[in-house]
Amino acid sequence: MTKPITFIFLGPPGSGKGTQAQILADELDILHISTGEILRQAIADRTPLGEKAQSYMDRGELVPDELLLDLIQERLTHPDASKGWILDGFPRNVAQASFLDRLLEKIELAADHIINLAVPAETLVERLLSRGRKDDSEDTIRRRLVVYEEQTAPVIDYYQQQGKLATVDGDRHPEAVTQSLKEMISVRP
Ligand code: AMP
């Protein structure tokens, strides 16, 4: 079996990482694992996970780590992950990043590409306000951006210190961003 290809997509809310992760996952025929999507689905399905997560998400806070760690382990070790995956929205804090390091070591995998989609703050608010998701009210957006700065931005430093981070300018037309991502991994556009 060929070696899986694995990605971690980092970037603030509104950076377009979900859109880009989906495009690249389709292109490479690998899994797109979005913890935000998994949680939104759990809320829609009224599962115990959804019930526990909802109030945090509505407020723009991170859900507690313990709601996600087993879930990530289960997703990454599932047979359908054998071709590869893109993690979108995880890790969201340094504790999750170090959990992921340990998990990947245990399953003898490494993240091949850790990509930070960089977008300036003023563009983010504009984009999020026009998106219209349930957790995209102005107050929640502002809280999500603060939570990002406080808890998620340190994950960028964490990977930078490991010398593994690649930054892509996300403040461009989506197609230009996709093009850069494909060039980075040498997939012919
Ligand atoms: P997203 O779709 O990635 O913007 O995530 C939407 C919301 O889901 C976030 O604001 C958090 O409340 C929650 N969430 C998603 N991923 C995580 C994670 N890795 N850790 C904690 N909360 C998360």
Name residue, tokens 């603060």: 146
110, 102 contact by CB (below 8 A)? no
- φ, ψ of residue 92 to 5 degrees: the values are -110, -5
pLDDT of residue 187: 54
Residues 61, 132: Cα–Cα separation, whole Å:
18
- φ, ψ of residue 37 to 5 degrees: the values are -65, -45
For ligand 1, the distance from its centroid to the CA atom of residue 102, given in whole angstroms, is 21
Which of 186 and 39 is assigned the larger pLDDT?
A: 39
- Our answer on whether the CB atom of 13 is closer than 6 Å to any ligand 1 atom is yes
- The pTM score is 0.94
Tens digits of residue pLDDT in 47-56: 999 999 999 9
Tens digits of residue pLDDT in 154-185: 999 999 999 989 999 999 999 999 999 999 98
For the purposes of burial, counting CB atoms within 10 Å of the CB of 8, is it exposed (0-12), middle (13-18) or buried (19 or more)? buried
For ligand 1, the distance from its centroid to the CA atom of residue 128, given in whole angstroms, is 14
For ligand 1, the distance from its centroid to the CA atom of residue 43, given in whole angstroms, is 13
Secondary structure of 38-58 as H, E, C letters: HHHHHHHCCCHHHHHHHHHHH
Q: What residues have CB less than 8 Å from 143, skipping those under 6 apart?
A: 59, 60, 61
- Our answer on whether the CB atom of 143 is closer than 6 Å to any ligand 1 atom is no
pLDDT of residue 189: 47
Nearest residue CA, atom 5 of ligand 1? 36
Is residue 188 over pLDDT 80? Answer: no
In the chain, how long is the greatest CA-to-CA distance?
A: 48
Tens digits of residue pLDDT in 7-25: 999 999 999 999 999 999 9
Residues 5, 58: Cα–Cα separation, whole Å:
33
Q: Average pLDDT in the 86-115 region?
A: 97
7, 115 contact by CB (below 8 A)? yes
Name residue, tokens 């037309």: 173
**How sure is the predictor about 2, in pLDDT bands with cuts at 50, 70 and 90?**
confident
pLDDT of residue 186: 80
Which ligand 1 atom is at minimum distance from the Cα of 92?
19
Q: Average pLDDT in the 57-61 region?
A: 96
Q: Average pLDDT in the 88-103 region?
A: 98
